Amino acid sequence: MKDLNTKDMKQKNTIGYVIFMAVVAAIGGILFGYDTAVISGTTSIVKNQFQLTDMMEGWYVGCALIGSIAGVLVAGSLSDYLGRKLTMLISAALFSISAIGCAVCGSFDSLVAFRIIGGVGIGIVSIVSPIYISEVSPAKIRGTLVSLYQLAVTIGFLLAYLMNWVIDSNGSLSVAGNLWTNMWNCEMWRGMLGSETLPALLFFSIIFFIPESPKWLIVNGKLDKASRVLNKIYATSDEVQEEIKVTRESLQGEDKGKWSDLLKPGILLAVLAGSAIAILGQFMGVNAVLYYGPKIFSEAGFDNPMFSTVLVGVVNMVTTILAVFIIDRVGRKQLIYWGVSGMIICLLAIGIYFAWGPALGLGNAFMLTFFLGYVFCCAISISAIVFVLLSEMYPNSVRGRAMSIAGFALWIGTYLIGQLTPVLLGWSQAGTFFLFAVMCVPYMLIMWKVIPETTGKTLEEIEAYWTSRKK
């Protein structure tokens, strides 16, 4: 009985430690969300101060995305070569440099340069943090823990909106003085962008308290260090040895991981499938509604579009919390099937509102209901699951490189939808949402026909599924 109680205590301690590691890595998601959302409060001020044309304004908004694309391209190789922990430290350092640089820069060109540096950090952390969490998490709770990253992204969005609101409420465009005074008054964009320094330094500092990924240590032959980490993750030495055994067996006959390995049958299919769901998710309107929510509500005739946008942010965060608790119980694919089906219904309803709303007597309440319904369905399915799937569906030896490709596809999709959404809305508001609904169909087909159910399976079992595929 005493031994049983001791084992139970050890299991509780190990679960607590795993959760701690996951939360630390997930803080990178707060930086991701914060950096993405904070730009919305700065655009008009920066445009006026530097007398930007519409094209230059677009470059100011989109330059961080260029950095993000560069970041995901190097993230996989960096994390495979340097380790997950050191790569996250590099990302946090880039965030810090970007935030401080944006706060004190003296020209528009230098502002753009620091924004690009921050974008590189975003790209890196969007790949490495989910990988790290997936590799330290036991199979039965891996989905829950990896989804903490997406929850952190939504928290980052909310914190950025709140910070922008506080600075904007207390500032004055007519006040000018030294740099510190200007940061919170006539050049409030400095304070908004510079405020990211606090979460960036927090992320940088706390990473030192977590170990390197045991999967990465095993892949790189550092078995003693891997054992020490795994002893903190698993309750018994038998579980530790089994984890080392199955990871090493998955590497038999493989090199440490080369780009050419991604062309092997099965692995190539996994890479293509992961890239497809990453980019298709963007063309289902995921970020379009977050980036352009105020514009959409304004064109729909809402009296207070900013308040409606706040509701979007609240629903997004609350639903993500729900997803964290149910993702490992319901299963990845089931959440996708139900969530995307709901997205299609809501997108069609929004399209009908824009096309025939006045003729059918549909008011703003109809539009808002289905818009928030879309956000709910999206947040509980594809937004919560995309990083979970991408972090767990690739072989140990090439996980970093494979996820870099998928991340590259995701950021290309994000950039394109950011640039195209205003054009699409100008072409046809109804047509835009009908198009988003149509793009849900190939996403569902790929999930149904190609992607396996990964809930409750070890990373090695998922790897075996792909490597057994010959085409």
Which string of DSSP letters, residue by residue, matches 294-332?
HHHHHHTT-S-HHHHHHHHHHHHHHHHHHHHHHHHHH-H
Cα–Cα dist 11/242, whole Å: 16
Q: Quick one: which of 216, 182, 169, 175 has its CA closest to 106?
A: 182
119, amino acid identity: G
Cα–Cα dist 202/344, whole Å: 39
What pLDDT is recorded for position 346?
Answer: 94
Q: Is-contact 323 405, C-beta < 8 A?
A: no
Q: Quick one: which of 168, 433, 167, 155 has its CA closest to 292?
A: 433
Cα–Cα dist 328/266, whole Å: 25
User: Which tokens is 197 given?
Assistant: 């320094």
Unique residue bearing structure tokens 């790569």: 87
Query: Domains of the chain (ranges plus CATH)?
Result: 1-251 (1.20.1250.20), 256-471 (1.20.1250.20)
Q: Is-contact 376 319, C-beta < 8 A?
A: yes
What pLDDT is recorded for position 312?
Answer: 80
Cα–Cα dist 178/188, whole Å: 13
Biggest distance spanned by C-alpha atoms of the chain: 75
Q: What is the pLDDT along the chain (471 residues), one digit of tens a residue?
A: 445 455 555 556 677 888 888 889 988 888 888 887 777 667 777 888 888 776 777 678 778 888 888 898 888 788 888 899 999 999 999 999 999 998 888 888 999 999 999 999 988 988 888 888 888 887 777 778 878 888 888 888 888 777 777 776 665 555 555 555 665 566 777 888 888 888 889 899 999 998 898 888 888 888 888 888 888 877 677 777 877 777 776 655 444 556 667 777 777 888 888 888 888 888 888 777 766 776 777 777 777 776 777 788 788 888 888 887 888 888 888 889 999 999 999 999 999 998 888 888 888 889 889 999 999 999 888 888 877 777 777 776 677 778 778 878 887 887 787 777 777 878 888 899 999 999 999 999 998 988 888 787 777 777 777 777 755
Cα–Cα dist 267/463, whole Å: 9
Q: Is-contact 349 368, C-beta < 8 A?
A: no
What pLDDT is recorded for position 6?
Answer: 52
Q: Quick one: which of 114, 98, 77, 79 has its CA closest to 31?
A: 98
Element (H, E) at 267: helix 267-282
261 Cβ contact list (under 8 Å, min separation 6): 254, 255, 267, 395, 397, 398, 401
What pLDDT is recorded for position 8?
Answer: 52
Cα–Cα dist 97/447, whole Å: 39
Cα–Cα dist 390/271, whole Å: 9
Q: What is the pTM of this model?
A: 0.74
Cα–Cα dist 126/104, whole Å: 26
What pLDDT is recorded for position 254?
Answer: 47
Q: How far is CA 275 from the centre of its chain?
A: 14
What pLDDT is recorded for position 166?
Answer: 75
Neighbours of 13 (CB within 10 A): 12
